[in-house]
Structure 1
Amino acid sequence: MKKLSFLNKIVFFFNSIAATILLLSYILPFVAPKNFSILSVLSLGVPFLIIINVLFFLYWLLKIKKQFFLSFVVLTIGYLSFGSLYKFSSKKEVSKANSLTVMNYNVRLFNLYNWIEEANTNIKLIDFIKEKAPDVVSFQEYHPNKNIDLSFFKYKFEKLTGNKIKFGQAIFSQYPIINSGSVAFPNTSNNAIFVDIVKQKDTIRIYNVHLQSLKLDTKVETISQEESERLVKRIGKSFIMQQKQTELFLKHKKECKYKVVVTGDFNNTAFSYVYKEIKEGLQDAFKVAGNGFGRTFDFKFFPTRIDFILVDKSFVVEAFKTFDVHYSDHFPVMATLSFLEN
């Protein structure tokens, strides 16, 4: 430190803070929100902290200063524990005849209230799905109306709520649905639904999980107007609800005897407690075959991945794609799966 200039000493001071907070965040997936709800809020900022530490690492490396070791060590610990925030390559797509393609999409009521000013967004969204032709698609914030034509799917299951405006979750499938149902989450319109589909001789359960929304305005100028203490407490309460919802879902999933695919909007990141719990025993399709940051939520300042496709280990994840289409505040994701040969 004695050999550093005054400016570099200030830089290293902030570097030390960023590295310490990132290191602290690595324990969050192992800490139940109901025990430390305020601390769990930090999981939302982990992607930002990783990027900041990468910048500090490059800063010191270019200056050929040994201070680069601080962020390098913290980033390495994170990589060994959670994998890379950025995926550099993905697998190639396979013949659809021997595969199952599953899409997940939070469609935000098909732009019912014109959040996106572009005309005919709802029609473009449906045309996009029709073009990509997934075998199964899970919708969160689904709203059926006369302009939404999904009749190119043969089977569907919807779970809706509301009086004047019906909304909820839905799963559409090209394969027969032999069983369906929902997992009720108390005191909220969020829930989990499921269908059992039959492909050839295999029965596969598809879950669609929508955990408690944070109702967080992604515009930083709006966030700054709200008292930070109130904001953190509100998000912390949502995280506690997410934990309880996750426990209800996992209790239901434990009784399932079929191969499982879990899709959904978790309203939390891959560095969270709920993600770790739900992912237990499953593969994250993005981590296996994805590419880039895998951003699924339209937040301007750092990549946020809160929508997931998690699959049974009896599947091979052949391909994974995040589509950069702006028909909602979420981006659709799709995985191509095949079965392990016996």
Structure 2
Amino acid sequence: MSKLSFINKVVYFFNGVFALLLLLSYVLPFLPPKTFGILAVLNLGVSFLILMNLLFLLYWLIKLKKQLILSLVVLVIGYFTYGSLYKFSSSKHIENSGNFKVMNYNVRLFNLYDWLPEENVETKIVDLIKDASPDILSIQEYHPHKNVDLSFFKYKYEKLSGKKTKSGQAIFSNFPIINSGSIEFPNTANNAIFADVVNGKDTIRVYNIHLESLKINPEVESLKNEDSERLFQRVNSTFKEQEFQTELFLEHRNKCHYKMIICGDFNNTDFSYVYRKIKGDLNDAFIEAGSGFGKTYHFKFFPIRIDFIFADDAFSVNGFNTFKGHYSDHYPITTTLSSK
């Protein structure tokens, strides 16, 4: 260290800070937000912390300095604990006569309040869904928009709230729905719903979860105007609420004995406590069959994956796709499944 120049000492100091934060973020999925709420904010920036440590590693590699070991060790620990941030393998697609497709999409009320300046966003969303041709569709922030026609699905279950503008979650299916219901989350419009669908001889429980939103505008100018202390307090409070909602969901899920598929917008990443608890021993369809970063939320500077489809081990995950159509602040995802 004494042989380093002043500039390199400064660089190594910040390298140490980012390495420590990344190492700490690896532990957070195992710590309840109710106890470590403020620290849980790191969940949102894990991809950024990984990229920063990669840059530090590259810097020391170019300099041919042994200080590269710090970021290298932390990145290797993360790789063997959580896998790669970027999936280099191409998306697999296995043809199977029993294949069916599941889609998840937070549609942001079909652009009801013109967040996007583009015209006819709602009909473009419908066209995207038609082209994807899912057998089961899970929608968050659903609104029965006058221009939205999803009648090409035979069955649906929706749970809406609100006085002037009705919104909520919905499940559409081409398989018969024999049972459905809602898991109410107190003092919020967010909730979880379920539908039991029959596909051949299988009865499948499909959950659609929308956990509490962080209410953060991802645009940089908006983030600059946020009071940092108030922002951290809000995130802290939201993560604690998400933990409570997850507990309510798990209590309901543990009583189900059907094959299970869980879809949803968790408003948290795959490095979070709620992701780990909800996923349990299910398979993350992106990890099984996806490629790239799997980005599902529109944020300019680093990829964030907060929308998920989990499948019971009784299913083979035969394909996965992340769509790039920017008609919401989320990107839709699909997975192709078949019973084993």
TM superposition score category, shorter chain reference:
over 0.9
- CA distance in 1 between partners of 2:195 and 2:95 (Å): 25
Instruction: Map residues 105-120 of structure 1 onto 2, 5 A cutoff.
Output: 105-120=105-120
Aligned to 1:47: 47
- Amino acid corresponding to residue 122 of structure 2 in structure 1: N
Deviation at 1:26, TM superposition (A): 1.0
SS of corresponding position for 2:217: coil
Q: How large is the Cα RMSD of the aligned pairs?
A: 1.1
Query: Which runs of no fewer than 5 residues in structure 1 stay unpaired?
Result: none
Residues 124-174 of structure 1: per-residue CA shift (max 9 Å, x gap): 110010011001010000001220000111110000001111100000001
Instruction: Map residues 48-197 of structure 1 onto 2, 5 A cutoff.
Output: 48-95=48-95, 97-197=97-197
Residues 26-85 of structure 1: per-residue CA shift (max 9 Å, x gap): 111011011121111111111110111111111212222211111110011111111111
Aligned to 2:313: 313
- CA distance in 2 between partners of 1:190 and 1:258 (Å): 24
Deviation at 1:90, TM superposition (A): 3.5
Residues 241-281 of structure 1: per-residue CA shift (max 9 Å, x gap): 10000000001000111010000000000111100100111
Asked if 1 retains the 8 angstrom alpha-carbon contact of 2:91 and 2:321, the reply is no
Deviation at 1:91, TM superposition (A): 4.1
Deviation at 1:99, TM superposition (A): 0.8
- CA distance in 2 between partners of 1:170 and 1:232 (Å): 31
SS of corresponding position for 2:41: helix
- CA distance in 2 between partners of 1:209 and 1:9 (Å): 47
Aligned to 2:18: 18
Aligned to 1:322: 322
- CA distance in 2 between partners of 1:59 and 1:287 (Å): 30
TM-score by length of 1: 0.97
SS of corresponding position for 1:337: strand
CA 1:174/1:215 → structure 2, altered by over 3 Å: closer, same or farther? Answer: same
Asked if 2 retains the 8 angstrom alpha-carbon contact of 1:269 and 1:275, the reply is yes
Asked if 2 retains the 8 angstrom alpha-carbon contact of 1:100 and 1:336, the reply is yes
Residues 64-122 of structure 1: per-residue CA shift (max 9 Å, x gap): 22111111100111111111111111343233642121000000000001111111111
- Amino acid corresponding to residue 199 of structure 2 in structure 1: K
Question: Alignment length, in residue pairs?
Answer: 340
Deviation at 1:293, TM superposition (A): 0.5
- CA distance in 1 between partners of 2:337 and 2:176 (Å): 18
- CA distance in 1 between partners of 2:181 and 2:90 (Å): 34
- Amino acid corresponding to residue 18 of structure 2 in structure 1: A
